[in-house]
Chain A
Amino acid sequence: MSVYAGLDGGSTYLKAALIDHTGKVLNTGVKSTGIDNNGAAKVLLEQLCRDIGVSRIDYTMATGYSRKILEVADDDVSEITAHAYGVRITAPQGYRPGLIVDIGGQDSKVIYLDDQYRVKNFSMNDKCAAGTGKFMEVIAQILETTIDQVGPISLESTAPCDINSTCVVFAQSEVISLVARKYDRRDILAGMHASMARRIVKMIRKNEMGGDILMTGGGAMNIGLRRAFEDELMRDVYVATHPQFNGAIGAALIASERRS
């Protein structure tokens, strides 16, 4: 069996995925991005191989911010291409390729696909953390919860607050003042998701969109954000099967094509 690895060195976490020649995902793993990206990648890959009893990797492809410094990889590819490849494996059944919304730690991307999963166009947020995982993290911290809890908590909201600032720093002070005015945490979080969804939907150009919308990236694991998206777009939103690992899986898939 041939094994291909994809490494996604993101701003917050380092993600890795192993796939076989049929495109089946064998294992995935995540590690905090420290200062030694390359060392962390090496350790992570070794661990993933050990877990499933694999002794060697045929080809490794890197993507993400630190892709150029990941020496363990044989080559690298940009996140846009990696995500577009990843959804060939991670898209749930019935998804018609059209649009990928990737919510990462420090940037959000919108990628337009044609019906063959090829990239038609893309847009990214500029120099700003609005509408990214970082935004969620900051707000979660103020509300004394963790990032994996903000989604479920927000679903209990009955009257979402209005959060109008798109800048993380301004939104932070807005949330602090909402807390001071004794607003319910559930409503604040629901308001935050609506605000993030609005911000990202603004990046989407609906006339370019053919098929369905698929969410990837760590942000896609947040059920509250997904619901907010569906409300804002007024249509169903699909979530990739391994949202956080979509980039890494895509890189691994490109690795397998490179080898064969």
Chain B
Amino acid sequence: MNENLNITPMNSAQVRQQERFDRKGTAVAEKMLRQIRELSHMPETLNPFLETLESIFSRREDALRPAGVPTVGTYCVMVPPEMIYAQGAMPVKLCSGSYTAFGIGNDISPRDACPLVKAVMGFEEIDAMPVYQNCSLMAVPVTCDCKKKLAGWLQKRRPTAVLHIPANRDQDEDMESFVGELYRFSETLEQVTGIPLTYKSLADACCMTADAQYQLSRFINLRRKHPLIIRGSFSMSVMNALSYTWLPDWTKQLSDLNDELENLAKQKEMAVKENQPRILLTGSPVIFPNFKIPLLIESMGGLLAADETCMGERGFYDPPAIVDRTVDGMLRALSNRATRPCTCPTFADNQRRIYRIRQLIKDYRIQGVIYHVLRGCLVYDYEYRQLEEEMDRLGIPVIRVETDYNEEDVEQLRIRVEAFIELIKYGGNRS
């Protein structure tokens, strides 16, 4: 189907549409990057991460990787990156936060579909983003309804692997079926790359992610420092850049950042004043360039101390517990890691998300929770009530902010975020 597009030359209207798309997309990405860079106390070693985002979204370049390595576009956190690396490809996470692509996807999807999926469809439709265009395969786990329909829509356009996620993950049979999915996924990968899954390649890939996870755990420990050593918008840029970075490069960049942060901590050069309210951001994914909520929190005098989102450490936080050192044993460990500890609300029972948030509140001394709901993102919206009840018990204020992929609501959001920060500041300690 792609060949068709290449044979038919674009008419001038399409060319103009692409030009406008490029211009608008670049402007939004650059504006967000500028706002991130304008925040005080930016560590110098954060630059490589911001440059990655700049290269993908502003200069519209493909992900940097060794020559000849194909990319596999992944959606949601359940696709094990270890398998893709083991079979000679590079994963890129393609869930999108682009307002410009949303504008195009909006015309070809139902009104109430979520903006994230609309933006992905927009990128696919405009066919002008190398990181999307050049993917040799798309891997879409069937999580929420919009992702399910996205999978079907993508399947018609290009090679797509659809992974069934066991919504009832705690049953052994469900887990068994997901292991089967991973075997099938491995076959599909082999068709694309010509490289089979072997014990050695998978073990090497697991070591490679383990290195990255070691740096991530150092980073998490540094993030927990009180007063704060690194702003939330910076941390979220680090995790967003992971989506488009060759993993060993990201590990190196993060190691440098950790070193700098450790030095800053030694010299007591903390990022912000101690008395600002410490806020946890959770809910629907926050994907670059849609950084309006983190930037609002930090520009209105709040400290974005931690986040619990799928673009954050979820999916990468837990290492696979490999006990049986065979290919099958490793695939089972990866399948377990991808589902059982996952706090994605598409699982039927997700009590572990509440536990996780309670843990974060303790570890990061959180004083208030901002719950981000993307319009149409029902699964996250469902879990708000439960979280609210739990926070009420803990005496932690929580607010739900609903938003879409545009900038029209920034002022309405600003007053809510500001009032929430004041609520914590003026409210005194209610616990």
Residues 74 to 121 of chain A near chain B (Cβ within 8 Å): 77-81, 114, 118-121
Measured CA separation A81–B397 after assembly (Å): 15
- Chain B 399-431 near chain A by CB (<8 Å), digits 1 or 0: 100100000110010011011001100111010
Task: For A114, list chain B residues within 8 Å (CB).
Answer: 430
Chain A: residues with Cβ within 8 Å of the partner, total of 14
Please give the distance in Å from B282's CB to the nearest CB on chain A. 17
Which residue from A77, A120, A124, A126 sits with its C-beta under 8 Å from B422? Answer: A77
Contact A81 B409 (CB under 8 A): no
Contact A79 B426 (CB under 8 A): no
Contact A119 B427 (CB under 8 A): yes
Contact B426 A121 (CB under 8 A): no
Contact B426 A81 (CB under 8 A): yes
- Chain B 243-261 near chain A by CB (<8 Å), digits 1 or 0: 0000000000000000000
Which residue from B408, B412, B422, B428 sits with its C-beta under 8 Å from A78? Answer: B422
Contact A81 B423 (CB under 8 A): yes
Contact B423 A122 (CB under 8 A): yes
Contact A78 B419 (CB under 8 A): yes
Contact B399 A81 (CB under 8 A): no
Contact A121 B397 (CB under 8 A): yes
- Residue A202 at the B interface, CB < 8 A? no
Q: Which residue of A lies closest to B415 (CB)?
A: A78
Chain B: residues with Cβ within 8 Å of the partner, total of 16
Residues 179 to 217 of chain B near chain A (Cβ within 8 Å): none
Contact A127 B409 (CB under 8 A): yes
Measured CA separation A79–B427 after assembly (Å): 15
Task: For A80, list chain B residues within 8 Å (CB).
Answer: 415, 419, 422-423
Please give the distance in Å from B388's CB to the nearest CB on chain A. 9
Contact A119 B426 (CB under 8 A): yes
Task: For B408, list chain A residues within 8 Å (CB).
Answer: 127
Please give the distance in Å from B394's CB to the nearest CB on chain A. 14
Contact A118 B427 (CB under 8 A): yes
- Inter-chain residue pair count (beta carbon < 8 A): 43
Measured CA separation A78–B300 after assembly (Å): 11
Please give the distance in Å from B215's CB to the nearest CB on chain A. 39
- Consensus secondary structure, chain B interface: helix
Measured CA separation A224–B399 after assembly (Å): 32
Which residue from B402, B412, B419, B428 sits with its C-beta under 8 Å from A81? Answer: B419
Measured CA separation A124–B417 after assembly (Å): 12
Contact B412 A127 (CB under 8 A): yes
Please give the distance in Å from B328's CB to the nearest CB on chain A. 51
Known contacts A78-B422, A80-B423; is-contact A124 B415 (Cβ 8 Å): yes
Measured CA separation A126–B412 after assembly (Å): 7
**From A79, A80, A126, residue with most partner B Cβ within 10 Å:** A80
Measured CA separation A119–B426 after assembly (Å): 8
Please give the distance in Å from A77's CB to the nearest CB on chain B. 7
Please give the distance in Å from A101's CB to the nearest CB on chain B. 16
Measured CA separation A80–B426 after assembly (Å): 11
Known contacts A78-B418, A118-B428; is-contact A124 B412 (Cβ 8 Å): yes
Please give the distance in Å from B22's CB to the nearest CB on chain A. 29
Please give the distance in Å from A153's CB to the nearest CB on chain B. 33
Which residue from B399, B402, B422, B428 sits with its C-beta under 8 Å from A121? Answer: B399
- Chain B 12-49 near chain A by CB (<8 Å), digits 1 or 0: 00000000000000000000000000000000000000
Task: For B402, list chain A residues within 8 Å (CB).
Answer: 126
Task: For A126, list chain B residues within 8 Å (CB).
Answer: 402, 409, 412
Task: For B427, list chain A residues within 8 Å (CB).
Answer: 118-120
Contact B397 A79 (CB under 8 A): no
Please give the distance in Å from A206's CB to the nearest CB on chain B. 15
Measured CA separation A245–B150 after assembly (Å): 52
Task: For B430, list chain A residues within 8 Å (CB).
Answer: 114, 118
Task: For A78, list chain B residues within 8 Å (CB).
Answer: 415, 418-419, 422
**From B408, B409, B419, residue with most partner A Cβ within 10 Å:** B419
Q: Which residue of B lies closest to A122 (CB)?
A: B419
Please give the distance in Å from A141's CB to the nearest CB on chain B. 26
- Chain A 28-55 near chain B by CB (<8 Å), digits 1 or 0: 0000000000000000000000000000
Please give the distance in Å from A138's CB to the nearest CB on chain B. 21
Measured CA separation A22–B408 after assembly (Å): 42
Measured CA separation A80–B425 after assembly (Å): 13
Known contacts A126-B412, A127-B412; is-contact A120 B397 (Cβ 8 Å): yes
Please give the distance in Å from B374's CB to the nearest CB on chain A. 14
Residues 60 to 86 of chain A near chain B (Cβ within 8 Å): 77-81
Measured CA separation A79–B426 after assembly (Å): 13
Which residue from A79, A119, A121 sits with its C-beta under 8 Å from B415? Answer: A79
The 5 sampled A-B contact pairs (Cβ below 8 Å) are: A79-B419, A80-B415, A80-B422, A80-B423, A119-B426
Instruction: Using A78-B422, A120-B423 as known contacts, list a sample of 7 further A-B pairs with CB atoms less than 8 Å apart, ordered by residue number in A.
Output: A78-B415, A80-B419, A81-B423, A119-B419, A119-B422, A120-B427, A127-B409
Nearest first, the 5 closest Cβ-Cβ pairs linking A and B are A80-B419, A78-B419, A81-B422, A119-B423, A78-B418
